[in-house]
Amino acid sequence: MDRRAFLGASCAVIATVARATSASDDIAFLPLRTAVVIPIDTVAPIWAAVPFKGRFTKSDGNDSLVPGLAVRTPRGVTAVCTYCPHELCAIRLDGHNLRCPCHFSLFDPERDGAWISGPALRRTYQFRFEVDGTNLVVTDVEAALERRLL
């Protein structure tokens, strides 16, 4: 097998594995110091996006502020971390996708930030949240992010 064929096959395998990862997988979370409460009516229109920040304490005892985005999609409301998992650039909502302006990774907010393309090779970091009737309440952040911030 020549180098080009090997690299092409390897990329296809990585992409398949990354796409198969879902938000329902067993993800470990760390609690935010204080829950972030976002009035649900601020994300009432489809594709409305509200930026927020959550604070958590890292294992070294220092606090870290994590940016997020609450978005209403046709499937409902979601909250994703806006640090790109590739190099921690700030992801932005671009039409109906989340796009990293640094290296152009693309994520799907309708599938909880699932990876679509680009060098990130994984979904966005997740927040744990619930809708309590009138508010979106964000309570935890994916623990895997802490390793990137230490």
* Domain chopping of the chain, boundaries: 3-149
Average pLDDT, the chain: 88
Specify the pTM: 0.81
In angstroms, rounded to a whole number, what is the distance separating the alpha carbons of residues 142 and 37? 18
For residue range 10-28, what is the model confidence (pLDDT) as tens digits?
444 444 344 333 444 689 9
Angstrom distance (rounded) from CA 81 to CA 31 = 14
Sign of CA dihedral 53, 54, 56, 58: negative
Domain 3-149 homologous superfamily, CATH: Rieske [2Fe-2S] iron-sulphur domain (2.102.10.10)
Q: What is the CA radius of gyration of the chain?
A: 16
Cα dist from 35 to 2, 13, 30, 140, 149, whole Å: 53, 38, 12, 8, 20
Please state which of the ranges 22-26, 75-79, 97-101 shows the lowest mean pLDDT. Answer: 22-26
